[in-house]
């Protein structure tokens, strides 16, 4: 059991859900390690939505898809760039249930990664870990860091079963 193989199993599990839709950058075309996990999991192209680099809009699209009955798996290849989506994440996804008096509870699985520092350090804007900061500011969105291979599939399964949104943080150095 390796970290990467367990990620692939988790993506296979999610892809098997009829309402799952994977969206983000390099979802249909190579560009980062997360792409290869979708390929190895044989995630069908009709379950992938390639987006340009516009993280805040990506989160807004993910919320809209969730409200429309989809299970968006919104992929942010670097946790550093998830910060750009903070408006939609904190002020909308995390607060929608409260703002709508419990009428709307969109569920999004946000898949992100702390960038690798080996064999080459990707630099200060590609390797930060904001797990604790996100966890302290979000009230309805779960934040889970995957530090061992054994936890990967159970965490993704629980995120899929939950009624709440989740941010799942993968560690590139463990791939």
What pLDDT digit, counting tens, does each position of 42-75 carry?
999 999 999 999 999 999 999 999 999 999 999 9
**Strand 166-171 to 71-76 pairing:** unpaired
- Band the pLDDT of 91: cuts 50, 70, 90: very high
Could you list the residue range(s) of the whole structural domain that residue 160 is in?
A: 3-174
Cβ-count burial of 128 within 10 angstroms (0-12 exposed, 13-18 middle, 19+ buried)?
Answer: middle
CATH code of the domain in which 153 resides: 3.40.50.970
Cα–Cα distance for residue pair 169/155, rounded to 1 Å: 10
Predicted pLDDT of residue 89: 97
Give the pLDDT confidence score for residue 118 in this predicted structure. Answer: 86
Angle between helices 3-15 and 33-40 (to 10 degrees): 60
pLDDT at 58: 98
Q: How many domains does the chain have?
A: 1
pLDDT at 40: 97
pLDDT at 120: 82
pLDDT of residue 25: 95
**Model pTM score:** 0.96
Cα within 13 Å of Cα(55), Cβ side:
17
Q: What mean pLDDT comes out for the span 85-97?
A: 96
Instruction: Average the pLDDT over 71-91 and give the result.
Output: 96
Look at 60 and 121; give whichever has higher pLDDT: 60
Mean pLDDT of 118-123: 84
- Whether pLDDT at 11 is above 90: yes
pLDDT at residue 140, rounded to an integer: 97
Q: Which of 1, 6, 14 is nearest to 160 (CA)?
A: 14
User: For the residues 98-125, what does the mean pLDDT come to?
Assistant: 92
- What is the distance between the alpha carbons of residues 163 and 147, in angstroms, rounded to a whole number? 24
pLDDT tens for 30-42 read 989 999 999 999 9
d(CA 66, CA 72): 6
Is 168 within 8 Å of 156 (Cβ atoms)?
yes
Residue 73, φ and ψ in degrees, nearest 5: -105, 100
């Amino acid at each position: 059991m390796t970290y990467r193989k367990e990620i692939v199993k988790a993506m296979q599990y999610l892809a098997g859900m009829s309402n799952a839709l994977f969206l983000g950058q390099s979802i249909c075309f190579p560009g980062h390690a997360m792409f290869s996990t979708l390929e190895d999991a044989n995630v069908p192209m009709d379950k992938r939505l390639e987006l340009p680099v516009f993280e805040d809009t990506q989160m807004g699209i993910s919320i809209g898809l969730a409200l429309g009955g989809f299970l968006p798996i919104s992929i942010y290849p670097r946790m550093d760039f998830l910060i750009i989506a903070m408006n939609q994440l904190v002020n909308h996804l995390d607060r929608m249930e409260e703002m709508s008096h419990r009428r709307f509870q969109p569920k999004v699985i946000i898949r992100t990664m702390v960038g690798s520092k080996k064999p080459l350090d990707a630099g200060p804007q590609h390797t930060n870990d904001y797990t604790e900061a996100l966890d302290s500011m979000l009230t309805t969105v779960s934040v889970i860091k995957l530090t061992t291979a054994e936890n990967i599939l159970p965490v993704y399964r629980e995120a899929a079963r939950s009624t709440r949104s989740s941010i799942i943080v993968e560690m590139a150095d463990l791939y």
